[in-house]
Amino acid sequence: MDETGILEGQGSNGLVLGMAETKSVRKKQPGSRAWVSIIECISALGHALDPLIIYKGKTVQQQWFPLDLGPYEGWQFTATENGWTTDDTAVEWLQKVFIPQTIPQTASQGKEGQEGKEEARLLVVDGHGKLDNDAFTQRLLFRKVKKGFSEQAYELATAQHKLELLQAQVNNTAARKRRAVQIDPNTKFANIKDIQQAQIKAGEKKDDAAESSDSDCP
């Protein structure tokens, strides 16, 4: 199970015509640019559950949808203040999507039966903070879905995941190997001694130190 999102309206990529001296060009965007979240889930056998679409708003409005809803049969729709997942939408997804659509089929009946409803199901959540709370786990997850699954094992796995995240943050803040800075040769200036040595080698100037040593000799 994971959460994704899309931005309504047309994409922002495109070509515009403007002056080269202008740093940026404003572009009009027709339609809404609201954020829409989607809770999606797929089983180990490759069966995808119907998604839960989360709009931004107080309630779901009829004008948001096309006239033909056939392609979206079975989809669930809800709304939050910012279009993101909340504790209530997580529980709503469990009640309307995950629990009814993951009832195991009994081998004897070959169809959904009362026995299949009592079988345990394991939900793997991809590091979603909103689903790590009492309202989600204790109220529904452990009572209806995780029967027979060790709660202690879940807590250990959650703690291990948090430790891995903290370790990753520590590794990112560790001191990195410094690269050698390349010095621009145009910024380096020769000192007076280097200039004198170059003139002596070129024969443009005599070595004053050698002359003084020769004059000191008896």
Asked if residue 109 has pLDDT above 50, the reply is: no
**How many Å apart are CA 56 and CA 89, to the nearest integer?**
13
* Per-residue DSSP letter, 3: E
Identify the residue with better confidence: 119 or 144.
119
Rounded (to 5) percent helix, strand, coil in the chain: 40, 10, 50
With a pLDDT cut of 90, the percent of the chain lying above it is 7
Asked if residue 149 has pLDDT above 80, the reply is: no
Please give the average per-residue pLDDT across 155-174, as a whole number: 80
Q: What is the pLDDT of residue 107?
A: 42
10-68 per-position pLDDT tens digit:
655 666 677 777 777 666 665 566 788 999 998 888 889 999 999 988 888 888 888 88
Q: Residue 172: in which H helix or E strand, if any?
A: helix 151-173
**How many Å apart are CA 145 and CA 218, to the nearest integer?**
109
Q: Among 81, 88, 73, which Cα is nearest to 39's?
A: 88
Q: Which long-range contacts (CB under 8 A, 24 or more apart) does 71-78 make?
A: 74/50, 75/50, 75/51, 76/50, 76/51, 76/52, 77/52, 77/53, 78/52, 78/53, 78/54
What does pLDDT average to over the chain?
72
Strand segments, DSSP code E, in 14-139 are 35-40, 52-56, 76-80
Q: What is the pLDDT of residue 49?
A: 93
* Edge-to-edge strand ranges of the sheet holding 2-7: 2-7, 35-40, 52-56, 76-80
The sign of the torsion formed by the CA atoms of 170, 173, 179, 180 equals negative
Please give the average per-residue pLDDT across 152-166, as a whole number: 79
Asked if residue 110 has pLDDT above 50, the reply is: no
Asked if residue 114 has pLDDT above 90, the reply is: no
